């Protein structure tokens, strides 16, 4: 005899930020007998145009030596790919290095890496969290007499009806709905249509999750 636990599949959430912010990170510490001093200024902003991940770019002219700028950019890219405040991957975020200060007598890339990480963490907290959930595209084909039942059911699942049209003797309903609301949908669909409806489903995009979903993680 086996004791089997059955759970719904995990939802692959993402995070982005609410607003544009500027942040300054600093490093002032001693390591291995060396004084490490550095300061990195960045801007975090939501991306337009559907960028799927984190974009890191420089915009500070010649204010920083190339090796220090490269250290800051690499660290910021790593921080961005490491996830947001809730631990989910970040997307649609642009990070710009806009300035910095360094020890002219002993410029050290390690100090800039630490300062860049500090700037990122401060900026992420100031920018605020938006939890993004995967949205699915559905096409449901059902006998006409069950169309209203499907519309009502999808609305309960936070779905949006994008189109309805006819196909032979059946009605076709195009909709978008959060993946988290669609677990067990095949069983519900059979119940709504006495087993006569069919559905195709595919990933479409990510959209902001409601506060009730976010509250489950904070």
What are the tens digits of pLDDT across the range 9-37? 688 999 999 999 999 999 998 888 788 89
- When pLDDT is averaged across residues 59-79 and rounded to a whole number, the result is 93
Secondary structure class of 181 (helix, strand, coil): helix
Q: What number is the average pLDDT over the span 64-87?
A: 93
Angle between helices 66-81 and 109-127 (to 10 degrees): 40
> What pLDDT does 218 receive?
73
Q: How many CA atoms lie within 13 A of 159 on its CB side?
A: 26
- The pLDDT value given to residue 126: 97
DSSP 159-170: -EEEEEEEETTE
What are the percentages of helix, strand and coil residues in the chain, rounded to 5? 30, 40, 30
Q: 98 or 1: whose pLDDT is higher?
A: 98
Look at residue 146 in the predicted model and tell me its pLDDT.
93
Q: Which domains does the chain have, with CATH numbers?
A: 19-127 (3.30.230.10), 134-206 (3.30.70.240)
**β-strand partners of 132:** 14, 208
CA–CA separation, 40 vs 169, rounded Å? Answer: 65
d(CA 178, CA 185): 12
- pLDDT score at 202: 95
Amino acid 94: pLDDT: 94
Give the sheet arrangement for strand 93-102, strand by strand. Answer: 21-31, 34-46, 93-102, 54-58
Per-residue pLDDT tens over the stretch 122-169: 999 999 999 999 999 999 999 999 999 999 999 999 999 999 999 988
Q: Quick one: which of 150, 205, 157 has its CA closest to 183?
A: 157
Task: Say whether pTM exceeds 0.75.
Answer: yes
Count CB-CB contacts under 10 A for residue 79.
Answer: 22
The predicted structure's pLDDT at residue 51:
55
Averaged pLDDT score across all residues of the chain: 90
């Amino acid at each position: 005899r086996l004791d089997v636990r059955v759970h719904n599949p995990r939802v692959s959430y993402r995070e982005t930020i609410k607003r544009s912010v500027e942040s300054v990170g600093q490093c002032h510490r001693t390591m291995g007998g060396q004084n490490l001093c550095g300061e990195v200024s960045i801007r975090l902003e939501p991306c337009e145009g559907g960028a799927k991940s984190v974009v890191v770019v420089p915009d500070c002219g010649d204010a920083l030596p190339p090796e220090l700028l490269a250290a800051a950019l690499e660290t910021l890219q790593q921080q961005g790919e490491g996830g947001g405040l809730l631990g989910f991957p970040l997307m649609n975020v642009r990070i710009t290095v806009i300035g910095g200060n360094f020890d002219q007598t002993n410029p050290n890339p390690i100090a800039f890496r630490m300062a860049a990480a500090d700037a990122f963490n401060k900026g992420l907290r100031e920018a605020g969290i938006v939890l993004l959930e995967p949205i699915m595209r559905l096409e449901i084909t059902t006998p006409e007499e069950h169309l209203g039942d499907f519309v009502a059911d999808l609305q309960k699942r936070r779905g949006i009806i994008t189109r309805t049209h006819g196909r032979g003797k059946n009605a076709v309903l195009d909709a978008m709905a959060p993946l988290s609301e669609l677990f067990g949908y095949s069983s519900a669909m059979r119940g709504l249509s006495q087993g006569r409806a069919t559905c195709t489903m595919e990933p479409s995009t990510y959209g902001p999750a409601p506060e009730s979903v976010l509250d489950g993680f904070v």
